[in-house]
Structure 1
Amino acid sequence: MRITLFYQLLLGLLLALSTIENLALGQQKKPTIVFVDPNISIQKWIGKKMPIFRLQDKQGNVYDNKSILGKVTVFNLWSIHCHPCIVEFPMLNGLVGKYSKDNIIFLAPAPESSEQINNAISVDSFNYTVLPDAQSFFDIMGLVGYPYHILVDRNGFIRYIHMGIKNRKSGKEIAITELPQVIEHELNEKEAEQK
């Protein structure tokens, strides 16, 4: 167990040094926010383009790489079998309310079918756009477990990934601490670009 933790920390350090080196060499225009996750392999996505995806919401509206370009997109990958995911809904709904006037999309892929989701939760209990039958999305990203939060910037690059509903160090819910911070960072980036 200690050896595994040592290698995870070492890999996290190498990722951080690589980011600093890229910035020093001018290979990356804007800094990324990097959080080390127990599922360390997921960190490979930070700073990379969102993989190609195509999902439909319960009404048949299609969401894909093209439809999210030009908008900040916040993903909450969840399951009806994940109790912490459902406990987090009110806090995530608060984000949707807070940023309803901004150019942000809130998407919630789940591996279950629409029927399974409708039987498990109230349609009105979650304000993100629910995307059923999304197991392929989980597979492409290499995600194991729930929930995962991912923020994609206006240019289609992944800027934030976090597993779980709380920050492991502070114990605070990320929906009321980290996610708003990352969203504000992306909104401020757009304002800075316009000046």
Structure 2
Amino acid sequence: MNISKKQRNNIIFLVIIALILIPQTRQPIQIVLHKGLALFSPSIEDESELKNITNYNWKLKDINGIAYNFNQSEGKVVLVNFWATWCPPCIAEMPSMQELYNDYSDKVDFVFISDEGQDVLKSFLSKKNYSFNVYIPSETPQIKLFEVRSIPRTFLLNKKGKIIIDKSGAANWNSETVRDKIDALLLE
């Protein structure tokens, strides 16, 4: 039995659709697709359009239950990332976040935020060998600019609280563009 090129293409298309519909294969496929999108660096905000954080008062707790107030980051270069363990674009960009964290954790405040349970977050971090800390909001953000409606969403703040990068969706956070910008912000 000979299968025509059109029939073969239809079969391949149906197999792909089936794999996307099956819950066990959907997330890995989405992660691979988002990793392709995460090859690009986030763009730097236009200097004339920079928004400013004026109120740093926001209570969080880390995955071990230790309280943290975001006001501890005031006056520092800060990377704030909203994410979840079930989010394919979040998972896709995490390796680049870990690489950036490895090199800048002693100079930049990394504030990874998820509203998932401590056990879920600990398990995910352990399974993926991520060493950064994750915070869970103890209250609604007091910072209006952090009212996030989709994840991942990441902000890079300078020492004066200006948002230098505001990125929704997966990105390559370990890019030369981001590293150069962070290096410049640290010198300010």
TM over 0.5: yes
Q: What secondary structure, in the 3-state scheme, does the structure 1 residue paired with 2:178 have?
A: helix
Alignment of 1:123-162 (within 5 A): 125-133=129-137, 136-137=140-141, 140=144, 141-162=146-167
Runs of 4+ in 1 over 4 A off after TM superposition: none
The TM-score with structure 2 as length reference comes to 0.62
1:96-123 Cα deviation digits (max 9, x unpaired): 1222442x11110001121232344526
Aligned residue in 1 for 2:37? none
Aligned residue in 1 for 2:85? 80
Contact 1:50/1:156 (<8 A) preserved: no
Aligned residue in 2 for 1:113? 117
CA distance in 2, matches of 1:45, 1:54: 24
The answer to whether structure 1 residue 34 and structure 2 residue 81 are counterparts is no
Contact 1:84/1:165 (<8 A) preserved: yes
Aligned residue in 2 for 1:12? none
> Computing the radius of gyration over CA atoms, which structure comes out larger, 1 or 2?
2
Matching residue's letter, 2:122: N
Aligned residue in 2 for 1:53? 58
Could you tell me the percent identity over the aligned residues? 22
Structure 2 gaps, min length 5: 1-43
Contact 2:64/2:118 (<8 A) preserved: no
CA distance in 2, matches of 1:105, 1:98: 12
